[in-house]
Amino acid sequence: MSLRLGDTAPNFKAVTTAGDIDFYDYLGDSWGVLFSHPADYTPVCTTELGRTAQLDEEFKKRNAKVLAVSVDPIEDHHGWVKDINETQNTDVKFPLIADKDRKVAELYDMIHPNASATATVRSVFLVSPDKKIRLTLTYPAATGRNFTEILRVLDSLQLTDEHSVATPVDWNKGDDVIVSPAIPTEEAKNKFPKGVKEIKPYLRYTADPSA
């Protein structure tokens, strides 16, 4: 059965380029970004892992830890990391999971037979500190992932978890947000001292309360 939003992210133990890990222990009280790759030494994934490494400080700012997974053995992973560092001018520090027995791939439904009977699809899972699945994305093999979007969703989830707001279309950190429909307008004006702009009774904006 595929994982859905709000489901508990399955725990697992794995061999990685950073040593043996327990997924839950590795995350601790951090957010998690788990993303899969069909195989080592693939061109699109090489650029993705490089970009993820370049964004290391951005993930740290958001209290998020990254893990990548593919079904190739650990020896291949170590060789691939050298190529990634060389070609993408970076330093991959996050773990790459060697999932030769497909344990993680099966736990997270990463093998889609209509795409490939053996290789993992290119999925992304955002996991909150309480180990709940908060986002799932699956990309086609020829389309590189947009890590700016993944960071944007992390910002949105962290903001909306803390405040009674939602983020509108194309929102970025610092932009105005939408007041929850569950809050009456007068109460919203007290709750959000930066002001409430009412477009419709159900559509009200306020400044980003975290800014």
Distance CA(24)–CA(35), nearest Å, equals 16
DSSP for 138-204 reads EE-TTS---HHHHHHHHHHHHHHHHSSEE--TT--TTS-EEEPTTS-HHHHHHH-TT-EEEEETTEE
d(CA 164, CA 22): 34
CB 8 within 8 A of CB 134: no
Is-contact 98 72, C-beta < 8 A? Answer: yes
Give yes or no: 45 in active site: yes
Q: Check 45, 96, 98, 124 and give the catalytic one.
A: 45
3-state secondary structure 7-51: CECCCCEEEECCEEEEHHHHHCCCEEEEEECCCCCCHHHHHHHHH
What is the set of active-site residues?
A: 45
